[in-house]
A and B are shown apart, each in its own frame.
Chain A
Amino acid sequence: MKIRTFLMGLLAVGVLAVGARAQTRATNARTVGIAVALVDTLSRPEHRAEILRFSDPSRPDVILLRQDASAEALVAAIASYRISVARTPGRPGAVGRTAITELSSATAAAAPLRARATEMLAKVRRAPLAKVGNYGRGRWAQFEVRVGG
């Protein structure tokens, strides 16, 4: 009896999990938590933004921008993050760093995301100073962004 209950429970979990996975794939859209951080310097001077993907459920991926970053740079970084997630699956035990080296500015195409990016940056700038990984001190805040779809 115990074994049957166990197997039934396991089966139910499996069916639900598979169903949820299938639904996720069908819509291919989901929301993930990311940290947006403003720091004094990025890992290389020519980088306009960096995106770190940890493939680790215990920590969010991180978008890093310079302190004086514009909303346009955050728009580009979010777009870049979405492109990276779409193209490169996460790799447990590995860290992905996407670097944006150049971006066009003040584009009409960025308009849909610009207002939100402006709000996000304002929130980050209100956050107190803290350690930001091995990038030194900076400010950061966590957000939900949609990827896929």
Chain B
Amino acid sequence: MRLRGWVGLGALVMGAVGCGDAVGPQGSGGRDLEFVAPSASSGIPAPRQRHWNSPITDEDRSLAEAAVAAMDATAGVLPALLFSKFVHGEWRLNDLWIQFGFFGMGTGYTVTPRVEIRGSDGRLLQLATVEPRSEEQGLYSVMRPTSEVVVPTSAFCGGQAAVTVTFEVRSKGTFAGESVTLLNKDVAQAVILQQRCPDPITPLGGGGAVLPSAGGTRLWLCQYEVWTDLDGDVIDVFFFGCTEVLGGFLAA
């Protein structure tokens, strides 16, 4: 009797230990599925690539200041000057963050950004329109506006962005009784390098791959994994990257 009791206990323990494949509540639907997932706002790995183009230099600044000092701001129309401009951007996951600006002089300006995202084959994947920024300064003065815009992209791992920003500086005034506008236009372009496909999963082979834009014979995944403790603090981040999924992982 006692022995039978122990065997019964053994069977119970087996159930808990030997067959420890956790299965939660059976059934489905109708009942609430209770869990609390930690916030997704922390621990997200952000593959970043940065590209700078024509940052404003100290030399530009001193040139501009000297020009302002040399000009008589009351002398009718003064030239619209554009000393330097910059565009840079970086991928933050699937968002393309772009900063641009210029350094010049005039009474107003317009900045018109244009973003093209292309696949590795050069095919246009996305053309983003960003609202132009325009401002009237009124008085002839030094201008150094900068802007930052975020362009959500459709997760083109491997995509490359070309950002073109047209800067137009103008100077309005009166010359010989006539209203005159002088323009100075320039273009800055930056190619934001290919959005990095994170490191491959070694056991699966392949890797570093550019996702086919559609279809094909192979299944590719871009994924990452974040482990958090019960307080929501991040313990580990694994960037599995973009990899081809093979064999047993796709078994029925």
Q: Other CB < 8 Å A-B pairs besides A80-B221, A96-B226, A102-B220, 16 of them?
A: A13-B14, A46-B93, A46-B152, A48-B155, A56-B22, A79-B249, A82-B249, A83-B240, A87-B203, A91-B227, A95-B228, A100-B221, A101-B155, A107-B215, A130-B30, A142-B27
Q: Indicate if A99 sits at the interface (CB-CB under 8 A).
A: yes
Question: Which residues of chain B in 201-252 are interfacial with respect to chain A, using CB atoms and an 8 Å cutoff?
Answer: 201, 203-204, 211-212, 214-230, 235, 238, 240, 242, 245-246, 248-252
The distance in angstroms between the C-alpha atoms of A91 and B93, with both chains bound, is 26
The number of chain A residues touching the other chain, given as a range, is 35 or more
Question: Which residues of chain B in 154-189 are interfacial with respect to chain A, using CB atoms and an 8 Å cutoff?
Answer: 155-157
Task: Select B227's contact among A96, A102, A113, beta carbons within 8 Å.
Answer: A96
The distance in angstroms between the C-alpha atoms of A130 and B31, with both chains bound, is 6
Once the chains bind, are B32 and A97 in contact (CB under 8 Å)? no
Once the chains bind, are B28 and A109 in contact (CB under 8 Å)? no
Interface stretch (choices B1-9, B76-84, B119-127):
B1-9
Q: Indicate if A65 sits at the interface (CB-CB under 8 A).
A: no
Once the chains bind, are A108 and B26 in contact (CB under 8 Å)? no
Q: Indicate if A122 sits at the interface (CB-CB under 8 A).
A: no
Binding site for A on B (CB under 8 A): 2-3, 6-7, 9-10, 13-14, 17-40, 44, 93-95, 152, 155-157, 201, 203-204, 211-212, 214-230, 235, 238, 240, 242, 245-246, 248-252
Task: Select B225's contact among A16, A76, A96, beta carbons within 8 Å.
Answer: A96
Residue numbers in B under 8 Å from A9 (CB-CB): 3, 6-7, 9-10
Known A31-B21, A100-B222, A149-B248; judge A132-B9 contact (CB<8 A).
no
Known A17-B17, A37-B33, A130-B29; judge A95-B38 contact (CB<8 A).
yes
Known A20-B18, A37-B33, A44-B40; judge A101-B222 contact (CB<8 A).
yes
**13 residue pairs A–B, Cβ–Cβ below 8 Å:** A32-B22, A33-B26, A35-B28, A79-B219, A83-B223, A97-B40, A100-B221, A107-B220, A126-B29, A130-B30, A130-B32, A131-B33, A142-B25
| B10–chain A nearest beta-carbon distance, Å | 4
Nearest 4 CB-CB pairings of A with B: A127-B29, A9-B6, A20-B18, A60-B24
Once the chains bind, are A97 and B37 in contact (CB under 8 Å)? yes
Query: Which B residue's beta carbon lies closest to that of A48?
Result: B155
